[in-house]
């Protein structure tokens, strides 16, 4: 078997092009969608389906978002993130915007050496399918130094997957703190109002100016016929072109999921605790992956069953009501309302038998 190394050879030393062991963009192949695989009626920002891909939207139509199987041909991807316009926005107001966002933790970007003369360049590659030809914008925002840079790319053929490679220079004047906060917010625009298009595109790193973010961006929300897709996102340290960029790092589903779970998890299928009084359980739920910070804890709506082994019999309850919840990065402690209980009895339990029984949504997103 031949071993092919991707890099340069000099003085009998092989320098590999890739500087990070794991992809900087988590879930860039859109494989993991813990929250849902399809959501309709979207008008608000948030993580709706595919993990790590936030939708930023303000008064820019109504959409169905899907983890889709429409992908570029023979590139090794099986999933994409799709947006399907169901209510158009033909005349966006000044402050309106429509973009995907991928956020990277600051402590994972320290190798970029921002703020020094050795600041590293980056190369962003992705596959996008847009309903509109013309100018599209990718925007990098670095909040610790309030710095940004935007790059334009041109879609030459509508409704066709296109490979895009964007070079981003190192920011010698920037700052990225070594902490668990936001390091980069990378945004793919699909529509923008005049507040972010009325200036001059910030094609070099500069202090953030909203008017310079998305100059020239076409409106991908002007018809209910419009769909757009993205997949295969990779971010490499260094400057590459279409011939030299290393191939996409495909991770196993397990590795991909575990990296996503630092920011979001569905849990609650197994727990143990005790009763306190006659109307309340208290449960511990350990997390399989340490989260970025203490998560927000939400019961994932109705339709969930809850069963606990209690004094030798099953205690069953539909749609459990969480009355209190506290947690840290490693686990949480829940108060769940019940009835007819005996005080101080040890119990253990589970949600539904399948993974949908994980009735807790835990969010530590950036």
Residues that bind other proteins (CB under 8 A): 44-46, 180-181, 292-299, 301, 322, 324-328, 363-366
- Taking the least distance from each CB to other proteins, the nearer of 63 and 126 is 63
- Taking the least distance from each CB to other proteins, the nearer of 45 and 133 is 45
- Taking the least distance from each CB to other proteins, the nearer of 46 and 238 is 46
Rounded to a whole number of angstroms, the minimum distance from the CB of residue 180 to other proteins is: 6
- Taking the least distance from each CB to other proteins, the nearer of 244 and 294 is 294
Tokens of 61: 């139509």
Tokens of 366: 């950036």
- Taking the least distance from each CB to other proteins, the nearer of 72 and 273 is 273
CB within 8 Å of 191: residues ≥ 6 apart: 60, 89, 92, 96, 97, 98, 99, 217, 218, 219, 220, 221
What DSSP letter does each residue of 107-169 carry, written as one string? GGGGGG-TTSTTPPPEEEEEEEE-SS-EEEEEEEEETTTTEEEEEEEEE-STTS-EEEEEEE-
Rounded to a whole number of angstroms, the minimum distance from the CB of residue 22 to other proteins is: 22
Give the Cβ contact number of residue 149 at 10 Å: 24
Q: Rounded distance, CA 363 to CA 199, Å?
A: 36
Q: For residue 283, list its beta bridge partners.
A: 273, 334
Rounded to a whole number of angstroms, the minimum distance from the CB of residue 352 to other proteins is: 19
Rounded to a whole number of angstroms, the minimum distance from the CB of residue 196 to other proteins is: 19
- Taking the least distance from each CB to other proteins, the nearer of 128 and 364 is 364
- Taking the least distance from each CB to other proteins, the nearer of 152 and 322 is 322
- Taking the least distance from each CB to other proteins, the nearer of 119 and 332 is 332
Sheet holding 38-42, edge to edge: 38-42, 62-68, 80-87, 227-237, 122-129, 162-168
DSSP state of 319: S
Closest of 288, 235, 12, 13 to residue 124, by C-alpha: 235
Q: Are 217 and 134 in contact (CB under 8 A)?
A: no
Rounded to a whole number of angstroms, the minimum distance from the CB of residue 113 to other proteins is: 24
Q: Are 39 and 47 in contact (CB under 8 A)?
A: no
Residue with tokens 């360049």: 121
Rounded to a whole number of angstroms, the minimum distance from the CB of residue 365 to other proteins is: 5
Rounded to a whole number of angstroms, the minimum distance from the CB of residue 301 to other proteins is: 7
Rounded to a whole number of angstroms, the minimum distance from the CB of residue 161 to other proteins is: 31
């Amino acid at each position: 078997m031949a071993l092919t190394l991707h890099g340069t050879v000099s003085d009998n030393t092989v320098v590999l092009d890739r500087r990070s062991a794991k992809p900087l963009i988590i879930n860039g192949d859109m494989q993991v969608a813990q929250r849902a695989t399809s959501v309709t009626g979207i008008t608000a920002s948030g993580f709706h389906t595919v993990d790590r891909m936030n939708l930023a939207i303000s008064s820019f139509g109504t959409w169905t978002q899907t983890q889709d199987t429409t992908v570029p041909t023979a590139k090794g991807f099986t999933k994409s993130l799709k947006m399907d316009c169901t209510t158009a926005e033909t005349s966006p107001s000044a402050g309106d915007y429509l973009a995907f966002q991928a956020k990277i933790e600051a402590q994972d970007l320290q190798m970029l050496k921002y703020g020094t003369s050795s600041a590293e360049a980056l190369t962003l590659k992705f596959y996008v399918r847009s309903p509109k030809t013309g100018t599209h914008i990718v925007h990098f925002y670095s909040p610790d130094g309030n710095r940004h840079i935007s790059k334009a790319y041109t879609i030459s053929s509508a409704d066709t997957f296109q490979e895009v490679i964007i070079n981003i220079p190192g920011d010698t004047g920037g700052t990225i703190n070594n902490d668990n906060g936001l390091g980069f917010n990378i945004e793919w625009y699909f529509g923008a109002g005049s507040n972010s298009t009325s200036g001059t595109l910030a094609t070099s790193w500069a202090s953030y100016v909203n008017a310079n973010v998305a100059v020239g961006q076409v409106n991908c929300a002007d018809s209910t016929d419009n769909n757009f897709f993205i997949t295969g996102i990779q971010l490499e340290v260094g400057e590459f072109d279409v011939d030299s960029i290393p191939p996409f790092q495909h991770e196993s589903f397990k590795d991909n999921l575990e990296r996503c779970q630092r920011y979001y998890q569905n849990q609650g299928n197994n727990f143990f605790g005790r009763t306190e009084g006659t109307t309340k359980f208290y449960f511990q739920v350990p997390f399989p992956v340490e989260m970025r910070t203490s998560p927000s804890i939400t019961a994932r709506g109705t339709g969930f069953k809850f069963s606990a082994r209690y004094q030798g019999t099953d205690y069953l309850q539909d749609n459990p009501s969480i009355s209190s919840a506290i947690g840290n990065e490693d686990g949480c402690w829940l108060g769940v309302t019940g009835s007819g209980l005996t005080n101080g009895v040890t119990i253990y339990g589970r949600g539904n038998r399948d993974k949908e029984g994980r009735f807790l949504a835990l969010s530590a997103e950036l």
